[in-house]
Chains A and B, each alone.
Chain A
Amino acid sequence: MKPTNFSLSSRIVGDVAVIYPKGYLNNITGENLVEECSGLIGKGITKIVLNLRDVEFINSIGISMLLTILERLKESSGSLCFTDSKKMFRDTFEMLGLTVFVHVFASEDEAFQHLASGGRA
């Protein structure tokens, strides 16, 4: 059976929320990530950076969670960026065509610059 440990933390930098998911985004506990983002969007935050450095694994369930977050942000005209992602995740996002909607950056600073310049995902 695949590992299922998943947790997250977050911080606010200006008008941007940075979320640090940790572990395996491969089961229903990933709903916590959707809830966290939905809560932030509900508070008016429309720029979200997901720092994926501590994410070990993303499967189809994890992708569905990311899609739901994207949908919520789309409804709020918001932006979503991924940073510090492993190459295999970047390849998956690209293969699925998600990089049209999400900007993938090497670091948080690059994401901040993109969002500060009014960049929309």
Chain B
Amino acid sequence: MSLALKKALYNISSLLDLGEETTSSKNFTTRIQSALYVIMGTFLTSRGAIFSYKVEDDSLAMVVRNDFNETGALRKALSSDYLRTLGKNEPFILKAGHDDDDEMPLSFRTALVESGTEIIIPLWVKDEFIGSITLGGKFTAQDYSAEDRELMKIIAHHIAITLNNHALIDDLTVQLEENKRLYKEMRLIYHDTLQAFAAAIDAKDVYTKNHSQRVAKYSVAIARELGMTEMEIEGLYIAGYLHDVGKLIISNDVLNKKDALTDSEFKVLKSHPNLSYDIISKINFPWKDVVQVIKHHHERLDGRGYPDHLSNSDLSDSAKILILADSFDAMTSDRPYRNNIGLQAALEEVKRCLGSQFDPRIVGAFCRVLDKEIRGELTNPDILPHLDKNFDASIITSLLETITEELSA
């Protein structure tokens, strides 16, 4: 095999090495450092560096190097406009007697020669300046050949694309972080708005003050205990806050009436889930089923609820959670027509309505989380802080155990 053929095979092998290194799953700096080693090994130089153009301050930053000193003069020279007047991805030889361009400014030439640079290649992708490769002289003291320069063009193009891709990913990462920040900010504003809206709903009736907030919190506690996704939990939180929004349209006389409601008044009151639905369905929520969950918070498993008389299989877990959370809070808070019935009586009522009004699996999760809160196992309890503290913990935990045992039987 001739020497020329052997060299050609070595060069092809080097290009394969370059492709493999630049597309590997290693981190960016390792990939570029490896690429520099490939270039050095291909052109037999022990000195080289790769620079990346930084648009923000219009300068070149050294990404990787080997036996190459970065000096202020070099940085200044490389950042000058002159570099960009050279041919795109074309190697320029700076060695005495081999100058490609006699018009090169002296300061530019001096800085590069002093740094040990013998070849400089401006890197471009289409019309975008990306950076540069600088290489020292060959270890063998031979000149760079015409073949070397042709190979360098291919390699330069490859490195330019690698640097450009990284810059694009960097830009996307920055954009992504900014979007995440904006999303977080919008989410906070959204939640603040939601709470203000819920306060307006609850303000219609002094007896139901903070009812929406409590229902939201209870629902979230149950959903977490059931291992629902964050998306599902957030949807329930929203539904909890807004489930009674339809009451804004209902007369205060009906809402706050202390005596028994007439049939027509009761009919008006029972219209609030549909009114809530009408209002909320105008909003395009990113959370699945929020509108349906709100509409169905007065349904029952046995089909005797309202407004659609749905039964067990028609109701989602989220709807069943809201049904329980809403009823439990109604029982444990004062209403115009009665005082709260207390935690023990509320739990006994929940137990009595298992399977008819409340889903046993949802009740099981509710009992478990309440038990954990009473035992102090949860650092941020969602239910206990809102309950009347006038209860016997041992009686309640015993009752919760009874319900849990009954459910697991």
Report yes or no: A62 in contact with B41, Cβ–Cβ below 8 A: yes
Q: Is the interface of B mostly helix, strand, loop or mixed?
A: helix
B98: CB under 8 A from chain A? no
Partner among B3, B40, B142 whose Cβ is within 8 Å of the Cβ of A67: B40
Give the residues in chain B near A59, CB-CB below 8 Å: 13-14, 17, 38, 41
| Complex CA distance for A59 and B37, rounded to whole angstroms | 10
Report yes or no: A28 in contact with B34, Cβ–Cβ below 8 A: yes
| Complex CA distance for A67 and B33, rounded to whole angstroms | 15
Report yes or no: A28 in contact with B33, Cβ–Cβ below 8 A: yes
Residue of B nearest to A26 (CB): B17
| Complex CA distance for A73 and B45, rounded to whole angstroms | 15
Report yes or no: A68 in contact with B17, Cβ–Cβ below 8 A: no
Tally the A-B contacts, defined by beta carbons under 8 Å. Answer: 79
Give the residues in chain B near A70, CB-CB below 8 Å: 46, 139
Residue of A nearest to B29 (CB): A28
| Complex CA distance for A120 and B403, rounded to whole angstroms | 91
A92 touching B10 in the complex, CB below 8 Å, given contacts A60-B42, A68-B66: yes
Report yes or no: A71 in contact with B10, Cβ–Cβ below 8 A: no
CB proximity of A70 to chain B, nearest CB, Å: 6
- For window 1-50 of B, CB contacts with A under 8 Å fall at 3, 6-7, 10, 13-14, 17, 20-21, 24, 26, 30, 33-34, 37-42, 44-47
| Complex CA distance for A70 and B141, rounded to whole angstroms | 13
Give the residues in chain A near B140, CB-CB below 8 Å: 96-98, 100-101
| Complex CA distance for A46 and B241, rounded to whole angstroms | 78
Residue of B nearest to A61 (CB): B37
Report yes or no: A61 in contact with B34, Cβ–Cβ below 8 A: yes
| Complex CA distance for A68 and B139, rounded to whole angstroms | 9
- For window 73-121 of A, CB contacts with B under 8 Å fall at 91-92, 95-98, 100-101
CB proximity of B117 to chain A, nearest CB, Å: 16
| Complex CA distance for A60 and B20, rounded to whole angstroms | 12
B348: CB under 8 A from chain A? no
B100: CB under 8 A from chain A? no
B177: CB under 8 A from chain A? no
Report yes or no: A67 in contact with B41, Cβ–Cβ below 8 A: yes
Interface size on B, residues (CB 8 A): 29
Report yes or no: B45 in contact with A91, Cβ–Cβ below 8 A: no
| Complex CA distance for A92 and B1, rounded to whole angstroms | 12
Give the residues in chain A near B349, CB-CB below 8 Å: none
Report yes or no: A28 in contact with B30, Cβ–Cβ below 8 A: yes
Report yes or no: A1 in contact with B20, Cβ–Cβ below 8 A: yes
B67: CB under 8 A from chain A? yes
A64: CB under 8 A from chain B? yes
CB proximity of A58 to chain B, nearest CB, Å: 9
| Complex CA distance for A2 and B24, rounded to whole angstroms | 11
Report yes or no: A28 in contact with B139, Cβ–Cβ below 8 A: no
| Complex CA distance for A95 and B10, rounded to whole angstroms | 9
A27: CB under 8 A from chain B? yes
Residue of A nearest to B7 (CB): A95
Partner among A28, A61, A91, A96 whose Cβ is within 8 Å of the Cβ of B44: A96
Interface residues of A (CB under 8 A from B): 1-2, 26-28, 30, 59-65, 67-68, 70-71, 91-92, 95-98, 100-101
24 contacts between A and B (CB under 8 A): A1-B20, A1-B24, A30-B37, A59-B14, A59-B17, A59-B38, A60-B10, A60-B14, A60-B37, A60-B38, A60-B41, A61-B38, A64-B39, A65-B41, A68-B66, A70-B46, A70-B139, A71-B47, A71-B67, A95-B3, A96-B10, A97-B142, A101-B139, A101-B140
Interface residues of B (CB under 8 A from A): 3, 6-7, 10, 13-14, 17, 20-21, 24, 26, 30, 33-34, 37-42, 44-47, 66-67, 139-140, 142
Of all A-B residue pairs in the complex, the 3 with the closest CB atoms, nearest first, are A60-B41, A63-B41, A64-B41
